[in-house]
Chains A and B, each alone.
Chain A
Amino acid sequence: MAIHPKIKEVAVKFEAQELHAARSGREVMEALASVVAGSSAASIDDLAAELALNAEALLEVMPAYAPPINVLHRVFARLERAQRDALPVSDFREAIAREAGAYRQWSEQARSKIALYATRVIPDGGVVFTFTLSETVLGALREAARRGVEFRVLVTESRPNADGTMTARSLAEQGIRVEVGIDAGVGELVARADVMLVGAEAVLADGSAICKVGTYPAALVARRSGIPVYVLVDSMKVHSPSLLGKLPALEPLAAKDVLGDGTAPQAPVVGHIFDCTPADLISALVTERGLIHPRQVSQWMLEMPMSESLAIRPAGRQGA
């Protein structure tokens, strides 16, 4: 029994912060399916032990993203049912392979539906403010441009990784007009926009959204300026453990991100790379199931399969 190479691969990507939230759900699903497919376990209980070992390796390094933790719950809830029913290993293997396939298909469809719905909230001739880099938001902006909506995009750097400049580069390559400011400039930039579109790493049970740090002040400016804030998330972004009071622990800023080049005066560095935008600042979540009030997510959480073993596991850094 060992850590599967696919799991190791995903863990390395998590540590290098190379995975964004939506993709990490897909990759964890694939990796867990590979563990099950490649396992030589003779009994469902042996397979359960092997899966638990592999899950631990992921939980150690997983950031505050909802999709991968929901995937773990989904797989482990099924596993627990299989154990209870003393299902043959082969039946469980088949079920997980089907689950992985269904997840791939669902993920694809969710992306295109969100893009379509988001297109409808971008006014023709309008100005869109977006924060940082979001695969979901980029998809929606591409779709809007493809459908002939005229708009331009404002984005800020999004320190520490300057992810916002990557958004600018990507949009410019697709011929979408884009302007870049500094994060401290949100007071000016957001007020110039007609609509604010952002992605999220997770939506909590109270409807608040965990997003790249700086999203919350930008949303405050939007509220003050009467600009609607849409958070584009598929339904796997709802952080189901938060319903049980297990909140994701946020990644702290690294000292090198603030005092980078060594010439800066030395001081303790405070702050995290994500912040929390409360539900009352969010006009709607744009999901594959439609535009919903953020507080509605607790209903979805109740519908989601929850693993008993994960639910009682002490909260790790990802609050799993």
Chain B
Amino acid sequence: MVKQADIVALVDRVRKDEIGGAADTAKEVVDALSKLVRDSKAQDTRALVAEVDDAVLDIMRVMPSLAPAINALHRFVGSMEQGEAEGATVAAMKTVLEKSRNDFFEWADSALGRVAQYGAEKVSDGDRVFMYSMSSSVWRILRTAKQQGKSFEVVVTESRPGNEGLWTVTEMDKAGIPVSVSIDACIGELIPQCQVAFAGADVISSTGHALNKAGTYPSALVARAHGVPFYIAADTLKFDSATLFGLPYRNEAFHRKDILDSSFPERVKVLGHLFDETPPDLITGVITELGILHPAAAYSVMQQMKLSRKVSEMLPAWSKGEL
């Protein structure tokens, strides 16, 4: 079986981490798969399914810990499994999967808008808003609040080692929202001066823990100590169903060169990961397209998610990088 060019290109882009965010990766994955289906010359359903299965395996092999992309695969492959169960012909299957793709894109566009809408309700006129690191979902919330005519200012810290907090500075500047900046160590001083705090999340686990850029958890602790509401903006594609079955998230350690120059002897080691885990009791609410949920509701959300048997079966090996 010849590998389809679009899938090869996608796999390459995922492997090289060339795609901006998790949501964009999810869209590219669904788009590439639906194109594969559309262009397929398969004579029967089984051949078509085999082509898709092969592509999904290639994609999963290079996929980092991006819950949205995995969930998008669940949806797409789940639709295909349903079609198979119903004995769909090749033509019927192509229709099913085209619809699955269109539904996904429609859903994605409206979901992000809803997250922004609901989150903006938590920003009040005159607020000082703390935001940790960067998150396109939080940016959307703040832009929406600004469009609603609210006047507020944003405080952000660098977010070492990648300094993504400085992207937030640029983004707020573009939106005409006043922003000030500090170092990560200053969260103990700055968050108590704010009325509300927001962060994004890479993953929401089945127990309502939020995996996000390192520094989010201490920020949530400071917010709790000072009674500042702490919201996580995450549409339900960020809910990682693999955690329901006890699988770990992947969390990268940061690199030595990020903090120590070559003058340090080798026996000085570096320690720490790029992400930390904020426990549910420190999260005021998770802002999703379904509404603002208590993080404990993660299980209910996962119950409603379309899960693919085939993708689920790949996850244990995938989570160990052994697929």
Q: Could you tell me which A residues sit within 8 Å of B by CB distance?
A: 154, 157-160, 165, 168-169, 172, 177-189, 192, 212-218, 220-221, 224, 253, 257-259, 264-265, 267-272, 275-276
The answer to whether B57 has its CB under 8 Å from any CB of chain A is: no
Residues 247-267 of chain B, each 1 if its beta carbon lies under 8 Å from chain A, else 0: 000000010001110001101
Q: How far is the CA of A172 from the CA of B265 in the complex (A)?
A: 8
Q: How far is the CA of A257 from the CA of B186 in the complex (A)?
A: 12
Q: How far is the CB of B282 from chain A (nearest CB, A)?
A: 9
Q: In the bound complex, do residue B260 and residue A213 qualify as a contact, i.e. CB atoms below 8 Å apart?
A: no
Q: In the bound complex, do residue B184 and residue A182 qualify as a contact, i.e. CB atoms below 8 Å apart?
A: yes
Chain A: CB-nearest residue to B167: A265
Chain B: CB-nearest residue to A264: B166
Indicate which residue in B184, B271, B277 contacts A184 across the interface (CB closer than 8 Å). Answer: B184
| A-binding segment of B77-85, B154-162, B313-321 | B154-162
29 A-B pairs (CB sep. < 8 Å): A157-B160, A158-B185, A159-B184, A165-B260, A168-B264, A169-B268, A178-B268, A180-B259, A180-B269, A180-B271, A181-B272, A182-B161, A182-B254, A184-B160, A185-B273, A187-B216, A188-B272, A188-B273, A192-B271, A212-B185, A213-B183, A213-B188, A214-B184, A214-B188, A217-B222, A220-B221, A253-B183, A265-B166, A271-B190
Q: In the bound complex, do residue A184 and residue B270 qualify as a contact, i.e. CB atoms below 8 Å apart?
A: no
Q: How far is the CA of A188 from the CA of B265 in the complex (A)?
A: 24
The answer to whether B187 has its CB under 8 Å from any CB of chain A is: yes
Of B166, B222, B259, most A-chain CB atoms within 10 Å = B259
Is chain A's binding surface mostly helix, strand, loop or mixed? mixed
Q: Which residues of B contact A187 (CB under 8 A)?
A: 214-218, 221, 276-277
Q: Could you tell me which B residues sit within 8 Å of A by CB distance?
A: 155, 158-161, 163, 166, 169-170, 173, 179-190, 213-219, 221-222, 225, 254, 258-260, 264-265, 267-273, 276-277
Q: In the bound complex, do residue B181 and residue A267 qualify as a contact, i.e. CB atoms below 8 Å apart?
A: yes
Pairs A-B, 6 closest by C-beta atoms:
A184-B215, A214-B185, A271-B186, A216-B188, A187-B217, A181-B272
Q: Which residues of B contact A182 (CB under 8 A)?
A: 160-161, 184, 214, 254, 258-259, 272
Q: How far is the CB of A231 from chain B (nearest CB, A)?
A: 15
Indicate which residue in B181, B216, B221 contacts A268 across the interface (CB closer than 8 Å). Answer: B181
Chain A: CB-nearest residue to B191: A217
Q: In the bound complex, do residue B260 and residue A258 qualify as a contact, i.e. CB atoms below 8 Å apart?
A: no
Q: Which residues of A contact B225 (CB under 8 A)?
A: 220
Indicate which residue in B163, B213, B260 contacts A180 across the interface (CB closer than 8 Å). Answer: B260
Indicate which residue in A165, A185, A264, A267 contacts B276 across the interface (CB closer than 8 Å). Answer: A185
Q: Which residues of A contact B270 (CB under 8 A)?
A: 179-181
